[in-house]
């Protein structure tokens, strides 16, 4: 669900890792840059045009025929004495060309990797984030299905060798930045769900403006979170999104608000609302609800109603929504969503807000609580 | 300004000729010293800028083995070690073929690792998109500053053909980096490419030259070190510039010192002018003393006067230096490229310190040279006010004493020169008393020569001849300075010329014995003497197998960085026949050969000098297997490198170093007639794509001499400038002398001497002085040359050279002295002969 | 105010010694004009040099204003000369590189007198050349040069004037002008002057006329009017 983000970021990388002033000015030119991406840079990449059959573990690995792809993890974790943490760890892949030219040097690359890593110290109301880039050349970064491994230098997602559950090997995620680090073991507690139309998730009008998209919405998580040198043993739940595509956004789309909620009793809910440039929600907004037994149900734009109840202003003056009421009448759901920490903005190549949230409200008429992650882009 | 100072300053402008000429002497001296300083500084600055451009904000570099750093070492640092502040760099050079031979530094980087290091990359290209994609995915894509692209007349999308390691490469311009004030210097002469392209262009797949490191503290470095193979070195990032500066030090000092010679001549000119000025004004000075000016007041007045000359000359010299340095820089950077490292100097860098040094030098020289005249002036007795005119001082009586003092001074200088020191400046300091002492011998020589010339002149020119020669003696205190200044200036040209010529002869002789093969094979290279391009090892055998080849030598050159110094190591696969071309300082060559092939090293003379080694000494070298001690079997004569060379037998080298490939191969032909055919056969061998140069003995010898001559172009240019100073010196001395004699000549005219006769006297006298100076210049010039050859060069570089006096240089010097003297006599001669005797007799 | 007691002076040239002043006693009172005759080489100039401290006697004492200058250093003597003595030379000896005004400024500056314009204007008036202030000496005639030289000798108001054949380089008429000038600016102002001369035209100025012969002084005329 981060295609827009990725496209912009890759463009910035193209600009030789620009300095901050230029970033701002480029941010303003974001739309036109995304336009420039519309034709996929003249490369004949594959496009997500029709429903495909997913096979595992192969599809956990990279799909270099497609322009972009990511491995996305978020989760809410807790220590035994009640300290709460949130984390986000994503590795993006993008292809520069469809074909990789034959060259002598091992540095030869047509794949660029980017990673975002953030830890929210909810109890301490602190937020740490970092961003990295690398090429796949010289095996500095890369992805493989067998064994499952996605890495960007010393940040990595690897299979642990444990039993594969619901087609997903058990995973270890390791990332360390200046002030925060994670070392987490994840195993699937529920099968994956295919998003959209059997995994073909349409993001805009026109053929190919779609992605292949599946999610593991319930990953039992255990391990360590380090914040400013202090290590905490934690456990909790993670969420994994896998998505690859070649082009997704259409010209009139400005960004999105995306919700991944893990509710007590084993229900997970994902909903994203595409925002048009005029601020109105796009018809391509949609979601899914996953029940405790692993069954799921799509949520369409008309099923949901999203109301912003609060806002937060970043230090650079951008105002973000910071509190919502999500109503899904068909599920008899009214969920109040509140950021665990107000400031969870990633000031990276492209600024966006992504953070841990608390959920409270009603589901099927009963009181319910939960945790989740929200991503806000295009503000 | 008080009246005294006014009077002093006006006095200068009353005699603009002397003023301008003596200021010119200082100006030329200052201009030379400063312009060489500027040129040297600019080239070292250009080098360090190009280093900085590559180093960026790196605090350290990781240096691998002779083969560089494998990709995997870097991968390990990043993926397993998590060392984020590291970046791989590949460096090479790309020269644009064509007349101006512009050389770019080509660096290969991983753009994703650049952020902590190279600012200019982020400044760059903000207006372009898609260029990173091109750089990454299109082989041989490069980025360069918009300025450089403009100069090359290309823009993104175009291609340029360059030579990299001797091979033609077509580079695609993918990005134009916008230039800002902060990155301008760094981007000059820089081509940036992706590391993959760089490995391919430089022919080093799988290898990195350096890993840049930005380390916060030593602890970080220590951790880093633990992640590196044991024999890797972490070097401070300025170290390479420092090494480069060290390399240039002796080169620069020598150029500087040659220009100091010019300044010394300038010094004499001022001395000359001031002495005249004092002698001429004895009455005025006496009057001033009589009306109450203290002797200190007079002293200060004369110094002030000299300082005005010095200041004028210094300012003019500083301005001239700026322009001279632009010319010099071409010569100097050429030499640096020939001898030391690749640098392209595109800009003049002047620092306040250089200006200050130049100004200080000019003014101090002026002060020094006017101390004595000022002292003499202060000793002018008030009685002089009552005398009719300044009379010849009593030098005539003191000539023998004067001469003895001169001899003693020369002796003192000789002793200073013989002090066993490596300090070049001390050596130069020793030259000064030698020169001064020699100048003090001048009156003795003049009177001696006059005794010889006088009868002849008398019989040839009658009374005119007699007057001409006698007045030289009568005005000895003035003539001797003029003659000495002239002799010194001419001697400087003889000295430099003879030194260069001696050096050249030595080198030619050495080339003759060293280049004892018939055919020489190498890879094309930017630095004439250094070979970082390697030929495939198999080529040696292939050449050995060519029909008609009776034997081969081969070598591999390697630069070792150790203890902040760069050592040139030659792995020598020399045959016995080739080894016979080596000449050793001492020891039995047969023994040395045995020891050499047995694993000992031999070192060149400059190396032995720099590292204080001798046969039997031990030398530690950083091998790819760690530090190892080697025994020095002998010290051989070598003029190829002023940095010195260490040679090791090839088999031994292979044991300790991993470096593959050869830098050069030479072959012996069975007979002279087959040389051309063999060259052809070699040229047609399969070299695995590496371009090779196959050259004959004569060609190689001639190119070597060409490089030598290019190196000494600067010295030659200096010599030419010394000639100019010499001419100025002669002109100024003789002219002031003649103008000084206005009254005397007026009396002669009043007594019936024809204007033509007067002209004759003046010309004859300057001719006599020119001849005297020329005769004096020859021994002094050769003495200077001998000092340069045996002491200065030896101490600067450790070279033993054969001194050879050059008759043609001496003849030229004589002619120079005489022609200059005659020319200098023309103007005063004409002026005197045209002046009415009444004017000449009139009181000033 | 000037006193020479037992003063002897000889010069050595090569191996021969030539005594020019021999055990000479001479006192000159303040305001007295003394004219000194003598043949060339008789030691007249030497006597002036001894009085001015330019030369030191081989023996004897030279008192200027009660100070024995023979005991002073070169520098101290120069300072005494600067403050007390004005020189007039036969060949004028103006500083060629200075204008008339600057030539006159020089002694004033040496004496440390800053504000000098008025003084220079008045002395130029006195010597009758008020309009030549910015002229260089070589543009002046001999007589004019000597008048400027006299002005220079007087400008800083010294008590003693030493004149070495002031008319010797001038024609007769010009010489008379100079004598007249000396009368006005030296004698009538009560300054002491010792003048070496060959010219009889100056005798009128003299209070005393001395003759120097073989190192000894003979009085030719004594002005008994001055007690």
Domain count, chain A: 1
Average pLDDT over residues A125-148: 93
pLDDT at A62: 96
Q: CA distances (Å), B457 to each of B454, B468, B480, B828, in order?
A: 5, 9, 20, 21
What are C174's two structure tokens?
């010009």
User: Which tokens sit at C197?
Assistant: 């001369």
Calculated CA dihedral for residues B480, B483, B489, B492, nearest 10 degrees: -80
CA distance A210 to A198: 12
Q: Using an 8 Å CB-CB cutoff, list residues of chain B that contact chain A.
A: 71, 74-75, 78-82, 84, 110-115, 121-126, 128-133, 136-137, 139, 194-197, 199-200, 205-206
Alpha carbon distance B380, B487 (integer Å): 29
Residue B16's alpha-carbon distances to B24, B483, B673, B827, in angstroms, are 12, 21, 69, 14
pLDDT category at B17 given cuts 50, 70, 90 is confident
CATH code (residue A223): 2.40.370.10
- On chain B, the residues whose CB falls within 8 A of the CB of C98 are 3, 6-7, 10
* pLDDT tens digit sequence for C206-222: 889 998 888 888 888 66
Q: Do C138 and B843 touch (CB under 8 A)?
A: yes
Top pLDDT among B314 and B26 is at B314
Burial degree of C161 (CB within 10 A; 0-12, 13-18, 19+): buried
* pLDDT band at B636; cut points 50, 70, 90: very high
Subunits with at least 3 CB pairs below 8 A relative to chain A? B
> Residue B675: in which H helix or E strand, if any?
helix B675-683
Strands C208-213 and C33-37, by their bridges, are: parallel
Please answer yes or no on whether B112 and A11 come within 8 Å at the CB atom. no
Q: What is the pLDDT of residue B828?
A: 76
Give the confidence band of B200 by pLDDT, cuts at 50, 70, 90.
very high
**Do A91 and B180 touch, CB atoms closer than 8 A?**
no
Structure tokens of B317?
């010299």
Domain range spanning residue A339?
A: 3-376
**pLDDT at residue B411 tops 90:** yes
- For chain C, say whether B284 makes contact (Cβ under 8 Å): yes
Rounded CA gap, B712 and B702, in Å?
Answer: 15
Contacts of C102 in chain B (CB under 8 A): 3, 6-7
Taking only the tens place, the pLDDT of each residue in B581-604 is 889 988 899 999 999 999 999 999
pLDDT for res B649: 94
- Cα distance between residue B64 and residue B229, in whole Å: 8
Region A369-373: mean pLDDT is: 96
Nearest Cα residue to B346 out of B10, B49, B781: B49
Q: CB of B489 within 8 A of CB of B776?
A: no
Q: How many angstroms separate the CA atoms of A373 and A87, rounded?
A: 9
Q: Please list the alpha-helical segments (H only) found in B688-754.
A: 697-711, 713-740, 742-750
Give contacts of A26 with chain B, Cβ < 8 Å. Answer: 126
Name the residue in chain B with its Cα closest to that of C45.
Answer: B386
Asked whether B60 and B228 are in contact (CB, 8 A), the reply is: no
- Residues of chain C positioned with their CB less than 8 A from the CB of B11: 97
CA distance B636 to B600: 13
CA distance B546 to B540: 10
From chain A, pick out residues whose CB is under 8 angstroms from the CB of B199. Answer: 104-105, 107
Rounded Cα gap, residues B4 and B9, in angstroms: 9
Using an 8 Å CB-CB cutoff, list chain B residues near C49: 382-383, 386
Q: B659 or C63: whose pLDDT is higher? A: C63
Q: Which residue has 């196959």 as its token pair?
A: B694
Q: How far is B38 from chain C (nearest CA, A)?
A: 40
pLDDT at B198: 93
Whether B124 has a pLDDT exceeding 50, the answer reads no
Q: pLDDT category, A13, cuts 50, 70, 90?
A: very low
Backbone angles phi, psi at B336, to 5 degrees: -65, -40
Selected residue with higher pLDDT from A137 and B826: A137
Percent of chain C clearing pLDDT 90 (strictly above): 13
Candidates C47, C86, C91, C145, partner chain B, best to mutate (most B CBs within 10 A): C91
How high is the pLDDT of residue B844? 40
B203: left (phi over 0), alpha (psi -120 to 50) or beta: left
* SS3 at position B598: coil
Residues A143, A61 contacting (CB under 8 angstroms): yes
For chains B and C, tell me whether 3 or more CB atom pairs sit within 8 A of each other. yes
- Measure the CA–CA gap between B445 and B209, rounded to whole angstroms: 64
* Percent of chain B scoring above 70 in pLDDT: 91
d(CA B102, CA C136): 62
Residue whose pair of structure tokens reads 């007589």 in the numeric block: C143
pLDDT tens, residue by residue, B664-692: 899 998 888 888 899 888 888 887 767 78
Counting residues of chain A whose pLDDT is more than 90, the rounded percentage is 61
Residue by residue, DSSP assigns A27-49 as HHTHHHHHHHHTTGGG-------
Chain C touched by B394 (CB under 8 Å)? no
- In this predicted structure, what is the pLDDT of residue A251? 65
Contact call for C91 and B284, based on CB within 8 A: no
Nearest to A376 by CA among A335, A324, A325: A324
**B578: exposed, middle or buried (C-beta count within 10 Å: 0-12, 13-18, 19+)?**
buried
Q: pLDDT value at position A23?
A: 33
Q: Tell me, what's the pLDDT at B726?
A: 67
Comparing C-alpha atoms, which of B367, B813, B798 is closest to residue B610?
B798
Q: What's the mean pLDDT in B219-237?
A: 85
Give which of A10, A16, A39, A115 to mutate to test B binding, by max B Cβ within 10 Å: A16
Q: Give the Cα separation of A110 and A102 in Å (integer).
A: 11
The predicted-structure confidence for B330-349, as pLDDT tens digits, reads as follows 877 777 777 766 677 767 88
Looking at the DSSP assignment, which residues form a beta bridge with residue B87? Answer: B212
More confident: B641 or C191? C191
Mean pLDDT of A148-176: 95
Average pLDDT for A198-213: 83
> In chain B, which residues have their Cβ closer than 8 Å to the Cβ of A110?
136-137
Between chains, do B291 and C106 touch, taking CB under 8 Å as contact? yes
Calculate the CA B759 to chain-centre distance. Answer: 44
In a 10 Å sphere around its CB, with 0-12 CB exposed, 13-18 middle and 19+ buried, how is residue B442 labelled?
A: buried
Give the integer Cα–Cα distance in Å for B751 and B739: 19
Q: Decide if pLDDT at B635 tops 90.
A: yes
| Residue pLDDT, tens place only, A59-104 | 999 999 998 899 999 999 999 999 999 999 999 998 888 888 889 9
Instruction: Provide the CA A214 distance to its chain's centre, in angstroms.
Output: 12
Alpha helices in B15-70 (DSSP H): 16-55
How much is the average pLDDT of C99-125?
Answer: 85
Q: What pLDDT band is residue B840 in, cutting at 50, 70 and 90?
A: low
Residues 110-129 of A with CB under 8 A from B: 110, 112
Looking at residue B377, what DSSP letter applies?
H
CA nearest C174: which of C152, C206, C141?
Answer: C141
A281 DSSP assignment: B
Residues in chain A: 379
> Is 70 exceeded by the pLDDT of residue B477?
yes
C154 contacts in B (CB within 8 Å)? none
Chain-centre distance of CA B801, in angstroms?
18
Residue B395 has what pLDDT? 66
ipTM above 0.85 for this complex: yes
Where do the domains of chain C lie, and which CATH numbers do they carry?
Answer: 29-54+74-222 (3.40.50.300)
A325-331: long-range contacts, CB 8 A cutoff, minimum separation 24: A325/A361, A326/A259, A326/A271, A328/A269, A328/A271, A328/A289, A328/A299, A328/A303, A328/A304, A329/A303, A329/A305, A330/A299, A330/A303, A331/A289, A331/A363, A331/A364
Secondary structure percentages of chain C, helix, strand, coil, to 5: 35, 30, 35
Q: For residue B101, what pLDDT is reported?
A: 67
By C-alpha distance, which of A60, A176, A204 is closest to A115? Answer: A176
More confident residue, B305 or A226: A226
Chain C positions touching B4 (Cβ under 8 A) are 106, 109
B379 in contact with C, Cβ within 8 Å? no
Proportion of chain B above pLDDT 90, given as a percent:
15
Helix C100-110 to helix C117-126 angle (10° resolution) is 120
**C-alpha span between A281 and B842 (Å, rounded):** 110
User: How many CB atoms are closer than 10 A to CB B384?
Assistant: 22
B744-791 tens-digit pLDDT: 777 777 777 778 888 888 888 888 888 888 889 999 999 989 988 888
Q: Mean pLDDT for chain C?
A: 85
Give, to the nearest 10 degrees, the angle between helix B239-280 and helix B352-378.
20
C100 → chain B, closest CA residue: B3
Residue B99's pLDDT is 54
How high is the mean pLDDT of chain B?
Answer: 82
| Range in B242-251, B510-519, C130-139 with the lowest mean pLDDT | B242-251
Could you tell me which residues come within 8 angstroms of residue C144 by beta carbon, excluding any fewer than 6 positions away? C129, C132
Report pTM.
Answer: 0.69
Q: Helical H runs in A79-208?
A: none
Search chain B and give the residue with CA nearest A40.
Answer: B130
pLDDT for position A34:
28
Closest residue in C to B381 (Cα–Cα): C54
Nearest to B284 among C78, C95, C107 (CB): C95
| Cβ contacts of A108 on chain B, cutoff 8 Å | 196
Each residue's pLDDT tens digit, A253-308? 778 899 999 999 899 999 998 888 887 878 788 899 999 888 999 998 888 999 99
The whole-number average pLDDT for the span B361-376 is 88
Contact A312, A343 (CB under 8 A): yes
pLDDT at B130: 63
Query: What is the nearest CA distance from B439 to chain C, expressed in angstroms?
Result: 28
Q: CA-to-CA distance for A56 and A164, rounded, in angstroms?
A: 11
What CA–CA distance (Å, rounded) separates B495 from B503? 12
Q: What's the sign of the alpha-carbon dihedral B777, B782, B784, B788?
A: positive
Element at B592 (helix H, strand E): helix B589-597
Question: Per the omega criterion (within 30 degrees of 0), is the bond before B79 cis?
Answer: no
- Between CA B464 and CA B486 the distance in angstroms is 24
pLDDT band, residue A41 (cuts 50/70/90): low
More confident residue, A41 or A101: A101
State the nearest Cα–Cα gap between B643 and chain A, in angstroms.
Answer: 35
């Amino acid at each position: 669900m981060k295609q827009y983000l990725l496209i912009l970021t890759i463009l910035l990388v193209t600009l030789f890792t620009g300095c901050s002033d230029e970033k701002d000015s480029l941010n303003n030119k974001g739309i036109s840059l995304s336009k420039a991406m519309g034709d996929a840079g003249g490369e004949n990449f594959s496009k997500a045009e029709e429903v495909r059959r997913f096979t595992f573990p192969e599809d956990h690995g990279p799909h270099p025929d497609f322009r972009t792809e990511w491995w996305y993890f978020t989760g809410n974790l807790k220590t035994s004495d009640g300290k709460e943490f949130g984390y986000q760890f994503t590795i993006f892949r993008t292809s520069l060309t469809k074909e990789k030219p034959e060259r002598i040097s091992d540095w030869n690359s047509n794949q660029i990797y980017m990673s975002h890593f953030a830890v929210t110290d909810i109890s301490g109301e602190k937020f740490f984030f970092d961003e990295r880039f690398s090429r796949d050349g010289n095996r500095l970064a890369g992805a493989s299905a067998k064994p499952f491994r996605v890495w960007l230098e010393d940040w990595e997602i690897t299979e642990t060798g444990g039993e594969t559950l619901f087609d997903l090997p058990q995973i270890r995620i390791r990332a360390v930045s200046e002030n925060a680090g994670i070392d987490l073991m994840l195993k699937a507690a529920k099968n994956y769900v295919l998003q959209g139309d059997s995994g073909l998730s349409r993001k805009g009008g026109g053929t190919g403006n779609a992605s292949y998209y599946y999610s593991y919405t319930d990953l039992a998580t255990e391990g360590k979170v380090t914040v400013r040198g202090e290590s905490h043993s934690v456990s909790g739940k993670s969420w994994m999104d896998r998505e690859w595509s070649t082009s997704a956004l259409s010209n009139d789309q400005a960004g999105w608000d995306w919700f991944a909620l893990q509710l007590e009793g084993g229900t997970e809910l994902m909903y994203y609302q595409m925002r048009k440039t005029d601020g109105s929600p796009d018809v391509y907004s949609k979601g899914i609800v996953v029940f405790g037994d692993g069954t799921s149900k799509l949520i369409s734009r008309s099923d949901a109603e999203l109301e912003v109840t609060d806002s937060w202003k970043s230090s650079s003056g951008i105002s973000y929504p910071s509190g919502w009421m999500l109503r899904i009448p068909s599920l008899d759901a009214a969920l109040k969503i509140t950021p665990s920490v107000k400031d969870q903005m990633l000031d990276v190549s492209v600024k966006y807000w992504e953070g841990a949230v608390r959920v409270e409200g009603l589901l099927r008429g009963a009181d319910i609580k939960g945790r989740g992650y929200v991503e806000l882009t295009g503000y | 300004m008080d009246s005294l100072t006014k009077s002093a300053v006006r006095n200068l402008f009353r005699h603009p000729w002397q003023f301008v000429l003596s200021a010119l002497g200082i100006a030329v001296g200052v201009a030379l010293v400063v312009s060489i300083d500027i040129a040297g500084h600019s080239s070292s600055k250009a080098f360090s800028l190009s280093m900085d451009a590559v180093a960026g904000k790196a605090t350290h570099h990781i240096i691998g083995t002779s083969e560089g750093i494998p990709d995997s070492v870097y991968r390990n640092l990043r993926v397993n070690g998590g060392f984020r502040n590291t970046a791989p760099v590949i460096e090479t050079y790309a020269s644009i073929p064509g007349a101006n031979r512009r050389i770019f530094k080509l660096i290969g980087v991983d753009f994703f690792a650049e952020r902590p290091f190279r600012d200019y990359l982020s400044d760059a290209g903000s207006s372009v998109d898609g260029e990173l994609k091109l750089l990454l995915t299109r082989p041989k894509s490069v980025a360069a500053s918009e300025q450089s692209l403009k100069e090359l007349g290309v823009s993104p999308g175009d291609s340029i053909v360059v030579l990299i390691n001797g091979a033609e490469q077509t580079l695609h311009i993918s990005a134009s980096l916008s230039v800002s004030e902060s990155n301008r210097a760094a981007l000059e002469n820089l081509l940036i490419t992706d590391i993959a392209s760089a490995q391919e262009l430089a022919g080093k797949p799988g290898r990195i030259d350096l890993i840049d490191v930005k380390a916060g503290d030593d602890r970080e470095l220590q951790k880093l070190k633990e992640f590196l193979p044991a024999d890797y070195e972490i070097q401070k990032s300025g170290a390479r510039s420092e090494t480069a500066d060290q390399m240039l030090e002796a080169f620069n000092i020598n150029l500087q010192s040659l220009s100091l010679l010019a300044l010394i001549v300038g010094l004499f000119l001022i001395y000359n002018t001031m002495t005249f000025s004092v002698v001429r004004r004895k009455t005025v000075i006496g009057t001033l003393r009589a009306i109450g000016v203290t002797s200190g007041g007079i002293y200060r007045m004369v110094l002030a006067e000299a300082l005005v000359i010095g200041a004028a000359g210094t300012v003019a010299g500083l301005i001239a230096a700026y322009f001279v340095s632009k010319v010099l820089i071409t010569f100097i950077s050429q030499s640096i490229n020939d001898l030391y490292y690749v640098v392209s100097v595109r800009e003049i860098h002047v620092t306040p310190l250089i200006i200050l040094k130049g100004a200080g030098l000019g003014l101090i020289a002026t002060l020094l040279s006017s101390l004595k005249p000022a002292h003499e002036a202060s000793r002018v007795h008030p009685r002089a006010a009552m005398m009719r005119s300044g009379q010849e001082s009593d030098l005539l009586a003191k000539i023998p004493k004067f001469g003895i003092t001169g001899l003693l001074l020369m002796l003192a200088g000789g002793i200073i020169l013989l002090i066993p020191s490596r300090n070049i400046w001390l050596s130069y300091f020793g030259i000064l008393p030698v020169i001064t002492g020699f100048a003090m011998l001048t009156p003795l020589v003049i009177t001696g020569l006059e005794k010889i010339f006088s009868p002849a002149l008398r019989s040839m020119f009658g009374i005119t001849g007699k007057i001409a020669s006698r007045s030289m003696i009568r005005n000895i205190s003035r003539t001797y300075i003029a003659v000495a200044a002239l002799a010194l200036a001419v001697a400087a040209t003889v000295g430099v010329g003879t030194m260069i010529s001696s050096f050249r002869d030595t080198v030619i002789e050495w080339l003759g014995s060293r280049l004892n093969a018939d055919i020489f094979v190498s890879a094309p290279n930017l630095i004439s003497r250094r070979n970082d391009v390697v030929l495939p090892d198999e080529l040696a055998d292939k050449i050995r197998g060519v029909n008609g080849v009776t034997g081969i030598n081969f070598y591999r050159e390697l630069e070792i960085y150790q203890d902040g110094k760069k050592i040139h190591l030659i792995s020598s696969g020399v045959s016995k026949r080739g080894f016979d071309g080596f000449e050793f300082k001492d020891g039995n060559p047969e023994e040395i050969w045995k020891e050499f092939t047995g694993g000992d090293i031999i070192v060149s003379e400059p190396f032995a000098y720099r590292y204080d080694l001798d046969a039997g000494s031990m030398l530690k070298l950083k091998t790819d297997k760690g530090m190892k001690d080697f025994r020095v079997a002998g010290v051989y004569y070598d003029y190829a490198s002023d940095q010195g060379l260490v040679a090791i037998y090839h088999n031994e080298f292979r044991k300790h170093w991993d470096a593959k490939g050869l830098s050069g191969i030479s072959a012996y032909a069975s007979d002279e007639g087959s040389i051309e055919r063999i060259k052809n056969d070699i040229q047609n061998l399969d070299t695995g794509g590496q371009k090779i140069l196959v050259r004959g003995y004569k060609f190689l010898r001639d190119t070597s001499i060409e490089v030598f001559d290019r190196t000494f172009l600067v010295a030659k240019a200096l010599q030419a400038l010394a000639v100019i100073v010499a001419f100025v010196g002669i002109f100024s001395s003789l002219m002031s002398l003649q103008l000084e004699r206005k009254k005397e000549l007026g009396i002669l005219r009043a007594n019936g001497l024809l204007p033509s006769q007067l002209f004759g006297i003046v010309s004859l006298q300057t001719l006599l002085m020119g001849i005297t100076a020329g005769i004096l210049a020859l021994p002094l010039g050769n003495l200077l040359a001998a000092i340069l050859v045996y002491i200065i060069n030896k101490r600067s570089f450790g070279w033993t050279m054969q001194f050879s006096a050059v008759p043609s240089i001496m003849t030229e010097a004589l002619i120079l002295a005489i022609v200059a003297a005659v020319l200098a006599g023309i103007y005063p001669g004409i002026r005197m002969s045209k002046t009415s005797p009444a004017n000449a007799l009139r009181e000033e | 105010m000037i006193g020479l007691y037992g003063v002897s002076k000889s010069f050595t040239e090569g191996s021969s010694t030539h005594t020019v002043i021999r055990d000479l006693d001479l006192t000159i009172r303040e305001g007295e004009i003394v004219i000194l005759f003598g043949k060339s080489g008789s030691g007249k100039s030497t006597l002036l040099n001894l009085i001015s401290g330019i030369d030191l006697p081989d023996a004897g004492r030279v008192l200027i204003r009660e100070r024995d200058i023979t005991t002073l250093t070169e520098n101290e003597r120069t300072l005494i000369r600067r403050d007390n003595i004005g020189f007039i030379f036969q060949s004028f000896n103006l500083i060629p590189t200075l204008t008339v005004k600057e030539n006159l400024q020089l002694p004033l500056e040496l004496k440390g007198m800053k504000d000098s314009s008025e003084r220079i204007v008045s002395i130029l008036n006195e010597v009758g050349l008020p309009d030549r202030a910015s002229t260089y000496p070589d543009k002046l005639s001999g007589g004019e040069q000597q008048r400027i030289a006299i002005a220079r000798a007087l400008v800083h108001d010294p008590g003693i004037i030493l004149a070495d054949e002031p008319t010797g380089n001038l024609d007769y008429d010009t010489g008379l002008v100079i004598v007249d000038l000396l009368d006005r600016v030296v004698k009538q102002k009560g300054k002491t002057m010792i003048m070496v001369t060959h010219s009889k035209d100056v005798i009128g100025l003299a209070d005393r006329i001395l003759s120097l012969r073989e190192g000894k002084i003979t009085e030719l005329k004594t002005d008994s009017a001055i007690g």
